[in-house]
Amino acid sequence: MSPKTKPKPTKSKAKDKDKVRAKDKAKVRAKDKARYKAEAASLAPAASLAPLASLAPAASLAPAASSVLSSSPVPVAPLAPAELAAPIVTPVAAAAPASSAASAAPRLPAARKAPPEPPQPVTKADIARYRENLQGEIDAVALYALLAEEEAGQTLKDFYGRMVEIEGVHADVWRKQLEAAGVDTTGMHPAWRARALMFVARHFGPSLVVPTIAEREASDQAMYDEQPEALARMPGDERSHARLFRELAAGRGVEGGTIARIEGRHRGNGGNQLRAAVLGANDGLISNLSLSMGVAGASAGGRAVLVAGFAGLLAGALSMAIGEWLSVQSARELYAHQVKVEREELLNVPDEEEEELTLIYQAKGLTAEQARLMSKSIVGGELAHAVDTLAREELGIDPDELGGSAWVAAATSFFLFALGAIVPVSPFIFASGIGAVVASIIVSAVALMLVGAAITIVTGSSVLRTGGRQVLLGMAAAAVTFSLGALVGKAVG
């Protein structure tokens, strides 16, 4: 064999060499694995991973970590989910005290809670608003308590009694607000408007003031919508009161647990009676003041003013009375005709009347079955009772009153007009000349101011504004007629 020629390796020697290479490769992989683990641990201590652990649990990161490791260019043995879930601890981190590990971890600024807003101080405007609200509730409690005493029917007594309870709860809310602001409320009593309505209700009956109350409740039904101190139930209470008094003033039934039906005698007879009374007196006052001042301008306040004043009083009062009689009598005849038509329809087509009554009761909230049974019972019962029910429910007419007495309406109009018309004439009964003219203007201005104040009982507006407006308009009319009378007097004199 030549020394330059190497012997060919046998198969067994080749296998041995492969095993040695495999062992060397395994050692290299193990060293690389240990080195990469140490580098990863030194770059990301366990404490710094705490925020990430709170965001994504380790077990949920196992698939992603396995995919990242498998795609690494360096062969790394895959880790089990349990190993990924275990916290990574390096020898340095384990030897370091807890305080140093905590100091090495990045600190996130703690979120500061916003301090509670301090309560807003109560202003003078708030106190004025609380006082106005409390005054309104005190007035309502006093008025409803009187109406409960004056009413003869138990149903309306219970209704007004319930109103007193509700308004008392409302009053307590504003009383506590004022007392918390250091305001004494012990001296607060019903205002003069409420006392005036109480006087009318006590001497002339509750039915005269119900339309006025209905208008006040309607205008105040949204008063608590934008007031944060009000109880959650208070806006709903006010709207309910407005609806109930609207039904009460109109003479329609009101469904509910407290009120089964509002009696027909509380109808407003086509309008607000109290307002009509006030405006009737105002008509007499302004018309006769204008007439008297016209004659006074032409005659320098002579005795002719007295004659003209009484003539104007009588003419105006008679005109108002006749006009009111014709109006009410015509309404009565129309109502009587409508009731007669309802009676004839009940006799001829009872099924149609039963259907109409069923629809009316359904509109009031009854179920279709309840409305049908009630209508069938009414129409199939006594004829007079059925006519009465249909007149009230379908026509809104009280068959017993038919809009009230025409003679009572005429007499009332005559009296109210004369009451206002006598005021500007009265000074000329005792005197004449410029002194009587000045006295007539003064007493008329006072009367106009009182009329304006009486109007605010209905409207709830400012007494000074409304009364001042009445005085201004009345004096303007008197000035126009006085000037015209003076011109005519000079022309013909």
Question: Does CATH place domain 124-264 in 1.10.3470?
Answer: no
Distance, CA of 213 to chain centre: 16
For the chain, which ranges sit under pLDDT 70?
1-119, 250-275, 403, 493
Phi, psi of 484 (to 5 degrees): -65, -40
pLDDT at position 22: 65
Give the pLDDT confidence of 252-267 residue by residue, as tens digits.
Answer: 433 333 333 333 333 3
pLDDT at position 25: 64
Tell me if the pTM is above 0.85. Answer: no
- Count other C-beta atoms under 10 Å from residue 154's C-beta: 8
The encoded tokens of residue 212 equal 């006025």
Residues of the chain with CATH 1.20.1260: 124-264
pLDDT at position 454: 84
Q: Which of 292, 294, 289, 321 is nearest to 306 (CA)?
A: 292
pLDDT at position 255: 37
Return d(Cα 211, Cα 189) in angstroms, integer. 23
Q: Which of 408, 418, 476 is nearest to 445 (CA)?
A: 476
Q: How many residues does the chain have?
A: 493
Return d(Cα 483, Cα 162) in angstroms, integer. 58
Give the pLDDT confidence of 61-70 residue by residue, as tens digits.
Answer: 344 434 433 4
Type of residue at 460: G
Contacts of 430 (CB under 8 A, 6+ apart): 436
Q: Can you list the alpha helix ranges (DSSP code H) found in 220-348?
A: 234-250, 273-299, 304-348
